[in-house]
Structure 1
Amino acid sequence: MAGDVLSQTEIDDLLSALSTGVVSAEDIQTEQKQKKIKVYDFKRPDKFSKDQIRTLYMLHENFARLLNTYLSTHLRTLVHIDVASVDQLTYEEFIRSLPNPSVISVFQMRPLKGNVILDINPNIVFSIIERLFGGSGQAPGKPRALTDIEEAITKRVISKALESFQEAWKQVVTIEPRLEVIETNPQFTQIVPPNDMVVIVTLQTKIGQTEGLINICIPYLVLEPIMSKLTTTFWVSSASTRQSLPEHINALQRKLERTFIPMIVELGGSTITVQELLGLTVGDVLQLDTKFEEDLLLRIGQREKFKCKPGLSGSKVAIQITEKLVEGDDNDE
C-alpha cells in the first residue's frame, strides 16, 4: 500500500529523471502495459465500501460547488473546483505525500469525535491572499510559511469554507465544524496513529491561472458512528424526506408570503370601433358595461378572486372587499 502514494521528494526525483533522460517515457509506458499486481494486506482491510466511497464523492461534489460559489463571489475571479478522487489509505501515507511547508487546517466535526484535516496547496492559499489584497492572484515562485497577517486572513477564509462543508454534510448528519489550528509542517500534525485508516477527498482547484489540490483527510474513527448513513440509499431518501419536513414547509410558506403579486380592480369594459377610438379627444365620455351600484371585479395576478366596492380611505382611492369568488380548484386552498 505504501508504494501507491509518493512523497513530494519522490515525485521531484521522478520528474528530474524524466527531464535528464535517465528514465524515458517509453519505459514507463512499457511498465504500464505489464500485468499489475496489487498488494493486499489482510491485517489492514479496507474500511470503506464502494457504496460509502461513492456517497462521500457525491457529498463533496456538493461541497465543491458551494466552495466554488463562495470563492468566485469573494475573490471576483474565475474559480473552478472539482472532486478529483476519493481514496482510503493510512494516515502515514497521507502525511508523507504532503510537501513542507503546507497549509494544514485541523478542525472538528462536532458532535463527531476526533479531528479532520483540510490541506490546501500553498499556491492556492497565496493566490487567494493575493486577490484579497488587491493583486492579480499570482502565487509566489517559492513556497514559504505564512506570516501572522496572512494566517489571520487564511483562517477567516477557511472558516467560511467550513460553513459550505457543514451545508454539504446536512444530507447525512448535522455537524458544527470548528477550526482548531493551522500547521505548516506535516510531521507536526498527528491527529491519529500512523497506521489508522483515513479517507482522502481530493479537490482539483484552479483560481485564475493558479492550480493546486485541496485535500480533506477524514479518519475512520471520526466516521465510524455514522457509517450506516454513508450509503447512496440513505443519502437520497434523507434528501427527499427533508423536503416534507414541517420546518421546510414553513420556510417555503414564509418565502411565498413575502412574494409581491399585482392586484387589479376592473371598473368595467366597453366595445368601440377603431374609427371611434381614433376620434377620441379630451373630455369625451365612455359608457362602461358596469352599473354604478354593482360590485367591481378584483383580479389577483390573472385570476378573478374577489368582488369589491370603490371608495376613499383618507385622501386615497380604496376598495372594500364584499365577496370571495371560488372557482376550479380553489376549494383545495
Structure 2
Amino acid sequence: MTRPRRGEARTYDFRRPVRLAREHSHMLRVAMQTWSRQATTLLTTSLRVVCQLSNAQIEELSYDEFLTGMPDQSVCAVVTLDPLPGKALISLDLPAVLTMIDHQLGGPGGPDQPDRPLTDIEQSITKTLLTRLLRELTYAFETIAHVEPHLIAIESDARFVQAALPTDPVVVARLDLVIGQLESSVEFCLPFAMLAPSLEAMTRSQESGDKTRVRLEAAERTQQRLSDVQVDVRVRFEPVRLPSEQVGRIAVGDVIALHHPATRPLSVTSAATEFARAVPGASGRKLAVLITDALAEKP
C-alpha cells in the first residue's frame, strides 16, 4: 500500500472523524519543520555529503494504516518523549540507513546497497546518529511541550512494536529526505494519546488568553464610552440651615445670608459627590470658576 502524496485523493472514514484541530496540526508542522532544519545541518556535517530533510506533512491515521503503509525494507526506531506517555516511532527506508552508514565509514554511499537486516555494528552506528538527531527534538517541540527524547530500540519490523492498538489514532509527520543523490523519506509516528495532554493544555491556555483579551477589550470600550457620557456638574456654596417657618415666609426680594467666607473655595460636585474645589470668576461675558484643588479619590 502506497500512502497518497500531497494533492492526491485520500480516503476519509466518517466513522473515525479527525481529532486533530487545525491549529494543532499547524503547530506540529512548524515543530517538524524546525526539527528538519536542525537535522539537515547535523546530517550534512556528520555524513560529509549534502543532505536535506524538508517538506513536512501532517496526517492523522489509525495505527494499522500507518503500519500497512510502511515499505517492506525499513528501519524503525522506537522513541520515548519524556514526560509524554507512550512510544513514538521513526521509520526510515533501509537503503537510506545503509547509505548513511556507508558515508559515516568513509564509503561513497552509492545506490547499490545490500538487501539484509542491519548487523550489530551497523545498528550501533545508526543508534549513535539517531540519538544525535533526537536531541534536536527538545528545541523543536518547545512550543508544544518540553520533552526529553530517548532512543529505546531499533527494529527491522514495526509490527513487533506495540506502540498503539490497531484502531488507535496516530499523528504521522512525513518528511522528504535527500542524501546526496538518494531520495527517500522519514516518517515520524506519534500516538494521539501521547500528544493529547499537551494539546489540551495548549487549548486551555489559548482559551484563557482569549478570554483575558476579550475582557480587556470590553473594559477598554466601556471606559471609552463612559468618557464620552455627559454628566451634570454643579458649583455650590456651603449649605445654609433655616427654620421651616422662615422657609415658608420666603418671598421675592428677600436676602438670605449664606455665611460662606469669601476666602473659602466653592464645592464642585456631580451626582452629589464633591470632586474638586474652585473660586468664582469670569470667562469673557460668562460666569466661570477656576479649579484650585482636585480631590483625590477615596480608597
**1:136 pairs with 2:99:** no
8 Å Cα contact 1:63/1:168 also seen in 2: yes
Partner of 1:295: none
**1:82 pairs with 2:54:** yes
Return closer, same or farther for 1:150/1:225 CA change in 2, 3 Å cut-off: same
* In structure 1, distance between residues paired with 2:11 and 2:77: 32
Partner of 1:67: 39
Partner of 2:189: 217
* In structure 2, distance between residues paired with 1:38 and 1:221: 23
Q: Matched residue of 2:184: which SS?
A: strand
Return closer, same or farther for 1:196/1:159 CA change in 2, 3 Å cut-off: same
Q: Matched residue of 1:180: which SS?
A: strand
- Give the TM-score taking structure 1 as reference length: 0.57
Q: Percent identity?
A: 29
Aligned-partner residue type, residue 185 of structure 1:
D
8 Å Cα contact 2:47/2:100 also seen in 1: yes
Deviation, 1:59, is 0.6
Partner of 2:66: 94
Aligned-partner residue type, residue 188 of structure 2:
I
Deviation, 1:230, is 5.5
8 Å Cα contact 1:124/1:139 also seen in 2: no
Return closer, same or farther for 1:142/1:227 CA change in 2, 3 Å cut-off: same
Specify every segment of 5 or more residues in structure 2 that has no aligned partner in the other structure, as ranges. Answer: 210-299
**1:112 pairs with 2:84:** yes
* In structure 1, distance between residues paired with 2:10 and 2:137: 37
* In structure 2, distance between residues paired with 1:139 and 1:183: 23
Deviation, 1:127, is 1.2
* In structure 2, distance between residues paired with 1:109 and 1:228: 17
Deviation, 1:75, is 1.3
Partner of 1:164: 136
Q: Deviations over 1:58-104 (max 9, x none)?
A: 11000000000111111111111103411001000000111233200
Return closer, same or farther for 1:136/1:37 CA change in 2, 3 Å cut-off: closer
8 Å Cα contact 2:144/2:199 also seen in 1: no
Specify every segment of 5 or more residues in structure 1 that has no aligned partner in the other structure, as ranges. Answer: 1-5, 12-31, 238-333
Partner of 1:188: 160
* In structure 2, distance between residues paired with 1:196 and 1:229: 21
Q: Matched residue of 1:88: which SS?
A: strand
Deviation, 1:39, is 4.0
8 Å Cα contact 1:107/1:181 also seen in 2: yes
- Give the TM-score taking structure 2 as reference length: 0.63
Which structure dedicates a bigger proportion of its chain to helix? Answer: 1
Return closer, same or farther for 1:78/1:229 CA change in 2, 3 Å cut-off: farther
